[in-house]
Structure 1
């Protein structure tokens, strides 16, 4: 192993033992294996999935059965290289793509590695995540970032990648009218990404005033659906990016999509959605889902570097590693929370 500087033998990690049970523990610093690099983790965004695991101990079939380190939106600096890894990577700032596919299954060979059945994804049981001081990852999934990006922006390239993948699936193009339901972090970056892809109009719906204000700041039209129902808005989108994960919201939104429109289901939450089949058939709508992303980091990085997407506007709260539990619970007592970022080196 090639090292840049002295690396401690142990590190701190925020470990989940069950619903609502998080503790800061000492763990061995991982040793990078063949083709891996060791990253000094400097920023980790808190995702809704992290919050869900913290509250409920499971998401669908993924159950926390043994101690688990949360966090998968991560960035930092390469400090060591394992056998076969490029030694020139040492000292480079990187954004971590948190899924490592097998590389040999039919989906991987077809380029759809996000659908790899053998995917090992950070902070998805039983794979530990990034709420820790050091992390070993495959060098191909440690994407170098330019100096113009802050470490927080580098970490949030992960949720931006979801938006890039969704806009690609929806084939967002100049002149499209895009409806985005839900102004959470994904909805907000989806609004910016749709504009960057050339959408002529972007309408974002939500019920929280501060999130709607962020949507307006991103150049979108904002609609408070607690006061003005979507079906009365008179907006007929060519593309729907459904980010709320609420079945009733999804169903209502699909009913507004115009002829030959494209519907992409992004938000997770409901196992079933009441599908307005007559609308889908009579308007020849395309309805698809997205699961994570593939080959998105270069585009996401370029969008931020060019200024077309502003990720810093998402960061509402910042914590040290010892405060990781606060990052997971801030939304329950602060209505203005959008994205909490944990800094493991603090």
Structure 2
């Protein structure tokens, strides 16, 4: 089978093309990728040729939400053996020689590389390909019985897990999720896993609200500002990354509550109701990627305690990547969209 990759060349220039066979370094294993999830950053590279400050300057294989099987073990003897099923942690923490970051929080290392990222030059190539070579330190075992299709959700689920845990213990609390896109759906699932007494989700579209309801959430239209403000939630996770979403998050938080900024806001100044945050003594915390939660997430996916059913709405063959990206970009018709690199493929499915 040819080694097909999903490569972003520039804005509106996404190609599925033949790649050279991987040439692994001694500490790298070769994987056959089974499934890869389309992330918002992938969509930004496709639509705009950039994801925030990370601007395409050369062709780049996209993808960092991936799972697959080892077909060639690392020459140095590290990592998993041939046949091992793995999910991939995309982060390599790196310092810049001057900026400090907290010990034990590798996600905050200032010069880190991430699979499928154009931050550095040469770019860090991603995992949307039939076969890729990856450092064994990125590979985490997938337990028997956990489908690789589900294991491909480990990375975005870890983002949601980390975000919710930035608020502390949510057991017995009312948790509000602003924005029920794929990450918001996973926050709902993690909140249920973590013992929240009540989970509420908002979104502009009916489909994501329906999926959230399948996970036990109460839902509200994102346009119902009065109802959202009346919630007095203990914890609010802003996962829409929009200015109206940020406004709703602050208004919906109870006095003394916590607001987690999980959705990435636009660069530069963003208006916010700071006076409300002050007079309510809100705790406002940021959340970026994840730290050491990856194996906990895989374990919870494997034992079923983290229920992600229905969040994947479409699975398309990798050769139809452009179509898949178009579906993923329309939040009214999709949640998480996966690319299938196995060659079996699927025509997609509705939730």
Between Structure 1 and Structure 2, how many residues are aligned? Answer: 337
1:265-344 alignment runs, 5 A limit: 265-271=261-267, 272-331=269-328, 335-344=332-341
What is the rounded CA distance, in whole Å, between the counterparts of 2:266 and 2:29 in structure 1?
37
Q: Mean alpha-carbon deviation: is it higher for 217-226 or for 301-310?
A: 301-310
Residue 67 of structure 2 contacts residue 85 of structure 2 at CA under 8 Å; is this kept in 1?
A: yes
The CA deviation at 1:82 is 2.4
CA distance, structure 2, for counterparts of residue 336 and residue 79 of structure 1: 36
Say which of 35, 49, 52 aligns to 1:43. Answer: 35
Task: Tell me the distance in 1 between the aligned counterparts of 2:95 and 2:48.
Answer: 32
Q: Name the Cα RMSD after superposition.
A: 2.1
Does 2:240 match 1:248? no
Q: Distance in 2 between matches of 1:255 and 1:334?
A: 24
Q: Is residue 59 of structure 1 aligned with residue 51 of structure 2?
A: yes
User: What secondary structure does 2:310 align onto?
Assistant: helix
1:116 alignment counterpart: 109
Indicate conservation of the 8 Å contact 1:123/1:130, yes or no. Answer: yes
- 1:186–1:243 CA contact under 8 A, matched in 2: yes
Q: Indicate whether 1:100 and 2:92 are aligned.
A: yes
- 2:73 counterpart residue number: 81
Aligned to 1:184: 181
Deviations 1:179-213 (Å, cap 9, x if unpaired)?
10001000011011012111111110012111101
- Structure 1, unmatched stretches of 5+, are 1-7
TM-score (norm 2): 0.90
TM-score, length of structure 1 as denominator length: 0.91
- Report the Cα offset of residue 230 of structure 1: 4.5
The verdict on how the C-alpha distance between 1:108 and 1:277 changes in structure 2, with shifts beyond 3 A counting, is closer
In structure 1, C-alpha distance between the alignment counterparts of 2:331 and 2:198, rounded to whole Å: 31
Q: Which runs of 5+ in 2 are unaligned?
A: 344-351
How big is the shift at 1:233? Answer: 5.8
Distance 1:34 1:117, change over 3 A: farther
Distance 2:198 2:314 in 1: 30
